[in-house]
Structure 1
Amino acid sequence: MTKPHLLHLDASARRNGHSRTLSARYAGAWRAGHPDGRYTYRDLVAAPVPFIDEAWTEICDHALANGITDPRRLPEGVRTPAQRAAWAVVEPLLAELLSADELLIGVPMYNYGVPACLKAWIDQVTFPRARLDVRVVVAAARGGTYAPGTPREPVDHQERYLRDFFAGHFGVQDVTVIAVELTNALVDPWLSDARPAHEESYAAALAAVAV
């Protein structure tokens, strides 16, 4: 029987950021519950994934043109030195993702969206007509509140983007988002009145990741 595999990514520029705390708590609980499981960790800030280049798009174009949907056949489009260099970057990232049963992403909201380091990873592992059998858990942090019914709900391009991406491209419907909101209440005097709401949100998120 194949051992369960958790792939854990962190994308916060803060070493002690809320999203890192949440994802670490979740990973710790997962590892305690799966003592024989496999755990892979990538800090996308400490070891950034490079942005894709034209050579990677050429590999993807070859897959599209030849009806390739099995990622194991992607190397068929690797022919030039530039393409070999591009494949050397993506191959280990893709292998980790394809072998994972669960993907855990610790991610803050930056300027209404996700950090560039996470987007770089997403672009590297995104291949044509992809399908994944994986559960996704997002441990998110946001400076304000973007909850349903709030004024800023329409500009949430963090949770909505990740849900839309994993469902739309990879066909993943099992996406759980655990978010702590109003983290800026800890530093912004204008949001000082929102500190109790932040603390309530944080406590709920910590409880949710301790599964």
Structure 2
Amino acid sequence: MPHLLHLDSSARRSSFSRELSARYAAGWTGTRTYRDLAADPVPVIGEAWTEICDALLGNGVTEPTHYATVVETPDQKTAWAIVEPLLNELLEADVVLIGAPMYNVSIPAALKAWIDQVTFPKMSLRGKQFVITGARGGTYAEGTPRAPFDHHERYLRDFIAGHYDVDDVRFVHAELTNALVDPHLAARDGERKASREAALKAL
């Protein structure tokens, strides 16, 4: 039975990215693991984590099931105790669903901390599918004036496809969400509603 790893990273308990990821998850017919990275933050990596990476490179270890073989010192064992459950959740998933709003033209720190914890040198996740449900205060769609500032989708696509060697990365965004609160965008609230409805339909 296919397994879904569902991650949310919005600091808002009620958010567009959470609404979109929940819509996708509601249609999932297999098993599911859920992790709220904002409510239960993953610690940032420390020096012991970097030592594990160095050992993996030095010993030519590229298979995730063998990563623990290079863990030696007490500090490394403490670091690995954080990594291991997160990494196992990722490796067990057939599809990784990530609710990821755009914060300051990039991704939330909570999501970046998770990525750092579960990412190691020469690590391949080929065969998995990633689905990213995003929400952006403005619009960063191709052809818009703000498109060059999109370090949200571009970062995630480049990283997941480039480092993880994943060839199936899908994005669904709700754009112009700040039209709800920013008077300067109020005239574009119709576009916001249309973007949300299109995203929900796509999911």
> TM class by shorter-chain length?
over 0.9
Residues 32-90 of structure 1 show CA distances to partners (whole Å, capped at 9, x for unaligned) of: xx2xx220000001100000011011011101011111011111221111100000000
Task: Please give the alpha-carbon distance, in whole angstroms, between the structure 1 residues aligned to 2:124 and 2:198.
Answer: 32
Residue of structure 2 equivalent to 1:20: 18
Give the match for residue 93 of structure 1. Answer: 86
Aligned to 2:161: 167
Tell me which amino acid in the other structure corresponds to 2:131: V
Tell me the equivalent position of 2:119: 126
- Name the CA distance, whole Å, in 2 between partners of 1:75 and 1:6: 24
Q: 1:142 aligns with which of 130, 136, 145?
A: 136
Measure how far apart 1:203 and its partner are. Answer: 0.4
Is it true that 1:10 corresponds to 2:8 in the alignment? yes
Residues 111-154 of structure 1, C-alpha deviations (whole Å, 9 max, x = no match): 00000000000000001100002100000000000000001101
Q: Deviations over 1:18-41 (max 9, x none)?
A: 0000000110011xxx2xx22000
Q: 1:96-111, aligned counterparts within 5 Å? A: 96-111=89-104
Q: Does 1:68 align with 2:61?
A: yes
The residue type paired with residue 122 of structure 1 is: I
Output the TM-score relative to the length of structure 1. 0.95
- Matches of 1:47 and 1:160 in 2, distance apart? 26
Q: Over aligned residues, Cα RMSD in angstroms?
A: 0.6
Residue in structure 1 matching 2:71, options 71, 78, 81: 78
Alpha-carbon offset, residue 181 of structure 1? 0.2
Distance in 2 (CA, whole Å) between partners of 1:65 and 1:38 is 37
SS in 1 for 2:4: strand
TM-score when normalising by structure 2? 0.98
Structure 1 residue corresponding to 2:43, chosen from 44, 50, 54:
50
